[in-house]
Chains A and B, each alone.
Chain A
Amino acid sequence: MTDHDPTDPTATGLDRMLSDAFSGVRAGGRRPSISDVQRRARRHLHRRRAGLAVGAVALVGAGGAALAARDGSTGTTAPAGAGDLDDPQATATFPATTTTCVVYVDTTTTDVRPSDQGLSPTSTLLCGEVITDDQGQYRCEGEGRVGDDGYTYYDYCEQVWPWADVTTTIIWPEATTTSVEYPPATDPGLSPSSTVPGSYNGNTDTTSPALLPSSTTSAP
C-alpha cells in the first residue's frame, strides 16, 4: 500500500467521497485573538495552582486529623484551639500563599494588558516584581530562589515587555517545581543579589505597585 495521494486518478470512489466530504468542511468566521488564548492558558495555570493549594491544605488537614486521632488513642488530648491561626501555640503548617498580582490600568484593576485597551505601557503600574534583562521585562510571582547555576528561580513569570515576542514568555513551571529562569538583572548598578523579588528600583515592597523602570518606558 502506498501513501495516500488525493490527486491519484486511481483513487477509489470512497476515497473521492471522503476527500470531497472533508474538503467541504468550512471553518467558522471568528478567530479569537492571541491574547484570548493567553488568557485562557493563564486561567488553566491558576486553576491548577489553586487546586494544588486546596490539595495541600487538605493533606495538612488530614495529617493533622490523623495526628490528633493518634494522640487521642494514646490518651493525649489535643489542646483547645489547636490549628487556630490566632493561637500562638498552634503548630499547624499551612502552605505559603502566593500573592496574586494583577496589572493596574489607571484606576481599573484588570488582568488585561494595557495594549489591549489602547493605552501606552508607560501608564502601567505593576503589582509584584518587575525584572529587566536583555530579553525584556518580566513580572514574577513567588519567592525568588537563586540556584546553583546563578539563575534566580521563581514560581511564575510572565513577560510584560515586549509583549509581541511570545516565544520568550513561555516560562511555565510544572505545578510542583520551580523552573522559571532568566539571567540576573543586567543593570550594572545592581548586584547579583538584587534579583530577589522587590529589589528592582530599590523597591523592597513586593505587595505594592512598582513602576516600570524609566529606561524601558519608550515604545518599541
Chain B
Amino acid sequence: MSDATIPLAADVTPIQVQVKEPFDALYHREFDRMVRLATALVDRTEEAEEVVQEAFAQVYLRYRVVENPVGYLRVSVLNGCRKVLRRRAVARRWRPDPGDTAGLGFDHVLDAVRRLPDRQRRMIALRYQLQLTDNEIAETLGVPVGTVKSTIHRALARLRTEVPHD
C-alpha cells in the first residue's frame, strides 16, 4: 500500500483524534513502575504488588470512561499505599508486634519519606520515583502547580531536619 498524503484544502482544519491505548499495553508498561512506586512507600514487595493489582483492577473497571488512565492509576496506587500505611500504624498502636517490622527495609531516607504527611509523601514519591515534573504532579493530583511547589518545599525542609546530608 502506498503511503500517499492527501493534501487538505486550505479552509479545512485537520482534527487530531486521540486514541486510547489498549489496557494491556498500559498494564505491561506501567506495572513495574507502579510496583516500584508502591514498594518505596510501603516497603514490602508483597503488599506493594497487592496494592498495584488492586489499582489496575480499579482502572480496568473504569477504563472506558476514565480520561487519563495513567493518572487514575497513579492516584489509585498512592491511595492504596496510604491505606496500607494507615492500617499498619493502627496495628502497631493496638498490638505492638516485634515481628511486624521483619522484612522492612532500613533505608533511612525512605523511612523519613514514609513518615511525611500523606500529601507531602505523595508528591515526593511522584517526583523522585516517577520523575514527574511539578506540572505533571499537579495534573495527576488535581492541585495547582503552586501547591505542588510549596508542598514539596515544605517536605524537603522537613526531610533536611531528619536526614543527615552534606
**Interface contact B54-A40, CB-CB below 8 Å:** yes
Residues of B within 8 A of A31 (CB): 31-32
Query: Of B20-28, B82-90, B95-103, which stretch is located at the interface?
Result: B20-28
Please, what's the 1-or-0 string for B120-164, where 1 marks a CB less than 8 Å from any CB in chain A?
Answer: 000011011101011100000000000001001100100110010
Residues of A within 8 A of B35 (CB): 27-28
Contact A167:B22 (CB < 8 A) given known A4-B134, A22-B125, A24-B107: yes
Report whether over half of chain B's contact residues are helix, strand or loop; otherwise say mixed: helix
Number of interface residues of B (CB under 8 A): 48
Please, what's the 1-or-0 string for B53-69, where 1 marks a CB less than 8 Å from any CB in chain A?
Answer: 11011101111100000
**Interface contact B61-A41, CB-CB below 8 Å:** yes
**Interface contact A18-B109, CB-CB below 8 Å:** yes
Closest to A166 in B: B23
Q: Which of B53, B127, B128 has the most CB of A within 10 A?
A: B128
**Interface contact A14-B60, CB-CB below 8 Å:** no
A1-47 with Cβ < 8 A to chain B = 1, 3-4, 6, 12-14, 17-22, 24-28, 30-32, 34, 36-38, 40-41, 44-45
**Measured CA separation A18–B111 after assembly (Å):** 11
The reply on A71 being an interface residue by CB < 8 A is: no
The reply on B79 being an interface residue by CB < 8 A is: no
Q: How near does chain A come to B64, taking the closest CB pair, in angstroms?
A: 4
Residues of A within 8 A of B133 (CB): 3-4
**Measured CA separation A19–B132 after assembly (Å):** 12
Residues of A within 8 A of B113 (CB): 18, 21
**Interface contact A1-B149, CB-CB below 8 Å:** yes
Residues of B within 8 A of A166 (CB): 22-24, 60, 63
From A22, A28, A165, A171, give the contact of B129 (CB < 8 A).
A22
Contact A1:B153 (CB < 8 A) given known A18-B124, A37-B53: yes
The reply on A50 being an interface residue by CB < 8 A is: no
A140-169 with Cβ < 8 A to chain B = 164-167
A-B contact pairs, 8 of them (CB 8 A): A3-B134, A12-B165, A18-B124, A21-B128, A25-B110, A28-B39, A41-B61, A164-B24
> Given known contacts A170-B60, A172-B64, what 4 new A-B pairs fall within 8 Å (CB)?
A22-B125, A27-B33, A37-B53, A167-B64
Residues on A lying within 8 angstroms of B by beta carbon are 1, 3-4, 6, 12-14, 17-22, 24-28, 30-32, 34, 36-38, 40-41, 44-45, 164-167, 170-172
Residues on B lying within 8 angstroms of A by beta carbon are 20, 22-24, 27, 31-33, 35-36, 39-40, 45-46, 48-49, 53-54, 56-58, 60-64, 107, 109-110, 113, 124-125, 127-129, 131, 133-135, 149, 152-153, 156, 159-160, 163, 165-166
The 6 A-B pairs with the shortest beta carbon distances in the complex, nearest first, are A21-B109, A170-B64, A27-B35, A13-B165, A27-B32, A40-B57
